[in-house]
Structure 1
Amino acid sequence: MKKLLLALMLFGITFLAIAQDRQKGDFQIGVQGGGSLPINDYKKIGEAKTGFYSGLFIDKYFNGNMFGVGVDARYIRNDLSKIDSFHFANGHVSTTYKNSARFQDYLFTLGPSYKFTKDRFHIEAYVRGGIMMQYFPEYDRTLTYSDVKGTYDYSIKSTQNDITNKANSWAGLGGLRANYMLSTHFALFAHIDYVRTFGTKFGSKPSQFSVKESVSTTTPITTSTTINGYLDHYEEVPIVKNTLHQSLQVGAGIKYVFAKESPKNVTLIAPDQNRYDEVVKTKVETKDLQIMVRDKQTDLALSGVIVSIEGSNTAEKSTTDANGLASKISGVKSGVYQVVGEKNGVKTPILTLTDADFNTSSAVIFKEIFHDDPRFTLIGETFDCALARNMPNINTVLTNSKSRANSSQISDAEGKFIYQLDAQSDFTLMANQQGQYSQTELVSTKGLDRSQTLYVTLKLGVCDLEKDGSWVLKNILYDFDKSDIRQDAALVLDNVVAIMKQNPSLRIELSSHTDSRGDGNYNLKLSQRRADAAVAYLVNNGIAKSRLVAKGYGESKLVNDCGNDVDCSEEQHQENRRTEIKVLEYVK
């Protein structure tokens, strides 16, 4: 196979060399390298993780320097995502790697190219087809358990390729390359492309990576799981899964261009100066346009603003980046243009450009517009309270504590969400997701100065509902020596109502606790009244009484050492004055 690849490479180079002699157009050669990001089944079934690649390419453009043909040769490596041993009640799961725990690929392709040129900037699009020589990892994932009869091993996932662990396949790639010409001959570039293999066989031999795997069921696994529970986690009959190579290649490099021609209708400033330091004889009547958006009250650069530019046969829209910059528009002709930005339903004043803005010596027209929204911006993140990492696709609900008006939003792929908050207002925020719960977090803009502060941040912990699980309700308070449900406590209990309605199999104990100060019998009765009042609130809001248990524990379950006659701070006593939820029954 290596000989075949070498022959194809020599053929491609010979073809391009002949084309170089016969056609008037650039001939270029470049070296590249960067990251290889596995996607789809290659990442899931193959367990491949982000790796790297390196290689070289050669392109020959024909007359006009727009269309051409090129060859590409690469070495691609993706290591395996190794899985640590998992121990349970009477056994463990482990993985034995029998060779280098990585995928190694040699790729050679040939195909057409297209180039768009604007001053020093060149954009190239290309499509290639060819052959990939693949080297696969080999491993066996084994379930080991022991009982009174002995120790037993079950293979739950193993590679199925032949003993050579290599295969050939047809392959293709397509992508874009953005170049900046440093001089007539040298250019720096960045590129992104998509690489994948095709087919199940190459000749008579399988060409895909193959594993035999026991499929997981819905039965959960914990460190206390017994072997029977672990075996119940897998289907009885394992299945064979195959995957193609699929990855995104993102990288950069440098290339050398064997340019033959100089541009026409230009005058060189000096005989030895490169062709990009030239003065065009005709008058330049266009300029580049760059718009920046700032927050009017804080003067901070504002991202996420949709900027619209219209006029003189131009209609452009783009969104500002983290630096408040909209996409630069190149080659704008002199004329009248209107520029406006919009974010969260609030528009900026209209900026009008005229011929006077074009009658300057600068090659770029730079203008700032100001967005004036009196509200604050809440930037939040939903995160797994057990694993302490962000969770995507979680439904969140924001409620105005005074008007009780609410709005909802689903966190994005990074676990982030954004709300607009009115000034001098209080809000509650919670997650509303089946099978999970969150605390009711309080957010306030009271006392904040909008001219000094634009963003408010918050992290919202989201936890799984589990039988026998429990949590303390934050921000639920009672007036001294009373059990009435206050308005702020009602907002917290509304979250409990939403959780109960989303999870109809959920049955809970709602308990109330006091600190150790005061008479013990009185504290017990007061805590029972408070628990009863909280349960009554849930019943009045549509939750069946049979799903609820009210329990007052008084001072019998302190969470610290602040018992009778112990000198403690008010904060330590507050830890004991709490309302808890305990899951009595729950079926997912």
Structure 2
Amino acid sequence: SFEFEVNCNKSYKIVAEKENFILAEIDINTSDTDKINITEILELTPIKCDQFIDLEVFNGESEQLLNNTTISLYQNNILKETKLINGVFKFKLKCNETYKIVAEKENFKPAEIIIDTDNTNDIQISKTLNLEPIKCNQLITGIVLDKNTNKPLPNSIITFYKTETLIDSIQVNTGATFKYPLKCKTKYKITVSHENYISSSFQLHTSEKHNLELTKKILLDPSLEFVTIRKVKMIKTNPIYFDLDQAKIRPDAAKELDKVVAVLLKYPTIKLKIKSHTDSRAPDNYNMILSNKRAASTINYIISKGINPARITGRGYGETELVNKCSNGVKCTNTEHQLNRRTEFIVIDE
């Protein structure tokens, strides 16, 4: 409020001004009456002061605009508005206020920004927010079982490939169960193997859903074609017999070698190393020469059945890799010596 002393019979104009308000004025004509009080009211109308904000929300990793993002606008920590936007949004803000804008999207860390407006009317404010994606993982769990008996197969090995590149290999626990983290939106090849069982492989393409748990029961067929001996995978055969001091393939040996050929035809990527061994009951050099001849005869027989020579290697080892104590000068039974007279068909590549 204010007071002015004015003269009688005069005309006056009173003007009221204030920053951010519309100017107001009034005209007063005094009379000839002395010492009276004149009361007038001036109302100042605030100047409407608005500012405008353009906000873009990006994926902080790919730097692409994010669709379906929830934006919440707070004025002096009071929620004023929430909306779903596709990358870009506009808000009208009042001057001389404090605002907080929060951006949220599923599978991203929320982000916020504080904006203090000034008293400048009708200006455009541009801001950006980057939402960092939460690392997306899934979990595969499962068990490895014998297909015929349904019994668990502890010590099974599970190997994980990504675009044909080996990334990891794990061994199942004593209960034959396993669990392993996988990345979302990724193609995997998973191979499961166990001694004396046929390996199994399957493809898995994970989705984009976070924290999904996948369950897999893996059944392995007992191998009728392979056996693991001394931690080495071999084609399963009966003993390959040769006549005394000879390297010629006998009819009974040919039947066993035909089994090897059948396996190679069934599994065209398998490569073999053939090792021919003797016992110790002849001079060392003689045994080495004889075993080399027998290895060569064995390889030639398999190749003659149409197997690519690039898939077969091998040689004789004489008595250099005995499987028991029966070395030179050691008394052993015929049965013990027979264990050392063997031909091995070792799988070196699958």
Point out which structure has higher relative CO (alpha carbons under 8 A, 6+ apart): 2
Q: Which has the higher strand share?
A: 1
Given the two structures, how large is their TM-score scaled by the length of structure 2? 0.40
Given the two structures, how large is their TM-score scaled by the length of structure 1? 0.25
